[in-house]
Structure 1
């Protein structure tokens, strides 16, 4: 029977250390390892598989994201003994800790596992990642309505136009619309800016729930919005936006004191061609919007200067 060699210990008491023999039986465990797996002593008959199953039953040891212990063990065993050498990875444990693991497979088949706790660093990383994600989202989002802001929606349109120039995408329709809340200035003057903000948020909610998932609507300034509709002809765009216009027309926004505010929407639609620029396409949609306003508001006009 192979005896367990004497292992020098340059690590600290908090270091996570385990040694498995060629039959994958646990032959040595540091105090930190025993604590993690709630072991009183090392049982020379306990294999790696046994240890993981025991940890799952006692709610200790590594966190198993897949939720199935047998699948986790099978996946780990594929990696553990592929070849002699060393691999490193990070793992989290059920007690909330994070460890940087170094797993060394010796030529004789024995495995030495050493883990150093990196919980403070990992938690800092997660905090920074979350902060970065939140900052990125804020940079792309209009704070009042929660819709994409001007920079984001214009950048999205620019990307879509550039893809139209590709041979595979040249025949894919792309329509845009500029939508404007009618007489919004009078709402602010008669009811105050807070009510005006309520109206803008109400419209944003309607826009998200009435348009399709493929449609992207952003606030480009004040009470003006840009709707980008990939894969959509002007006829289809008009049908979608007519549904939105009617929903807005029927809307009642409550005001303090029991009264309500009604508002309407005017829209201008154009189809985008591969030769278009962002400014050129929006300029045509704006011209159609002006036509809607001139004809009495609360209506949709479609630009016909670009062939569908």
Structure 2
């Protein structure tokens, strides 16, 4: 059984303020525990390390904050965020010396804190690399698979190279470890075939072979390989090379496929993902749903409060979507204030239920203007089900019609395609 996710600990003697912080963080799926006494906080930290510690400037009931901060810092090496009204630089320096690692201004801005948590979690919990090994040798496959699995990677292997194009389309590996000599075809021949498909073009291909002739190695790389490793090389070298190449692939892939503001799939890659899932649903005769989401009256938000506030609203919805769909490879920014979600293996009603839960959470977020004025923001959505013989374009049109149905009915609701 997986361990329960770490909580955020809050030291705050003001119960009402602590309650508002807890409520806002809960909307982003984060658990927060509040403590009025430093002794109780320190005991909790000693028992279980938190994700981070928030300390309110009002202090606590039993100790002065200059005493508490160093004790927290000594117990656990976790971010220690100080919540306060604007203060002089000298005060910040003294608090930093005492153990504070970050500062957040009051009133509490959950969006800024979530931004920080997102960056921290991504750095701490990278997704395991997905590696496909193509080799007819069981001994080498077993060795390489064990080495990479021990290195924290997710490994899939296949003996028949002719099955690789279909497997790559389904599994979406981030690196292919390819033998040079196999009965069905050579590794460089397979690499050339893979490079003909634009969807596979950027996936790193590393040849793993007993071939030591430098000319033959270079020839294989010209066919589409990115690197060449000799079999039975050092396990640490294999892990290091695969890790570096996957990291580089991910960075390039994110630049090409992600929307810069939301870090969700951009329009082009969202449609590409939908096309893949539509083909899979038809092939496996499994259900598929698709949702279109549009932030209500978004133009008036931009016109009245400015694009900075509008961007913050968009980012807050994007965060909820990323948390609801980890990895976010099924969610994209369709354009402007419109988002889309692909629901593989999901019925129309179940998808609509998930979207409606998101709608309620989004409506509960405390959005504010640049001057701190509270804003009420909602979204409307349309959900459609893939029918027999239906194309991706028809599924989008169906969800879009359901979205307009929801808008016509008063907005802030989910419409179902007829």
TM-score category, normalised to shorter length: 0.5 to 0.7
Greater fraction helix: 2
1:135 aligned to which of 252, 273, 277:
252
2:381 aligned to which of 267, 292, 295:
267
- Counterpart residue number, 1:286: 400
Matched, 1:159 2:276: yes
- Counterpart residue number, 1:147: 264
Distance 1:134 1:213, change over 3 A: closer
Distance 1:178 1:102, change over 3 A: closer
Structure 2 gaps, min length 5:
1-146, 152-208, 213-228
> How far has the Cα of 1:262 moved from its partner?
2.2
Is contact 2:289-2:342 (8 Å) kept? Answer: yes
Distance 1:207 1:126, change over 3 A: closer
Per-residue CA deviation, residues 160-200 of structure 1 (Å, 9 max, x unaligned), is 1112232xx11x11100101000000010011001111000
> How far has the Cα of 1:211 moved from its partner?
5.1
Equivalent-residue separation in structure 1 for 2:404 and 2:231 (angstroms):
67
Equivalent-residue separation in structure 2 for 1:192 and 1:149 (angstroms):
23
Per-residue CA deviation, residues 8-35 of structure 1 (Å, 9 max, x unaligned), is xxxxxxxxxxxxxxxxxxxxxxxxxxxx
Distance 1:274 1:190, change over 3 A: same
> How far has the Cα of 1:257 moved from its partner?
2.5
Equivalent-residue separation in structure 2 for 1:143 and 1:214 (angstroms):
14
SS state at 1:165 partner: helix
Higher RCO (CA-CA < 8 Å; seq separation 6+): 1
- Counterpart residue number, 1:298: 412
TM-score, normalised with respect to structure 1 = 0.55
Equivalent-residue separation in structure 2 for 1:174 and 1:249 (angstroms):
27
- Counterpart residue number, 2:372: 258
Count of matched residue pairs:
194
Is contact 2:321-2:328 (8 Å) kept? Answer: no
Equivalent-residue separation in structure 2 for 1:159 and 1:228 (angstroms):
10
Structure 1 gaps, min length 5:
1-63, 68-85, 90-99, 104-112
Per-residue CA deviation, residues 204-261 of structure 1 (Å, 9 max, x unaligned), is 0112224577982110100001110011111101111110011111111233332233
> How far has the Cα of 1:299 moved from its partner?
0.6
> How far has the Cα of 1:276 moved from its partner?
1.4
Distance 1:275 1:197, change over 3 A: same
SS state at 2:303 partner: helix
Q: Compare CA radii of gyration and give the structure with the larger one.
A: 1
TM-score, normalised with respect to structure 2 = 0.42
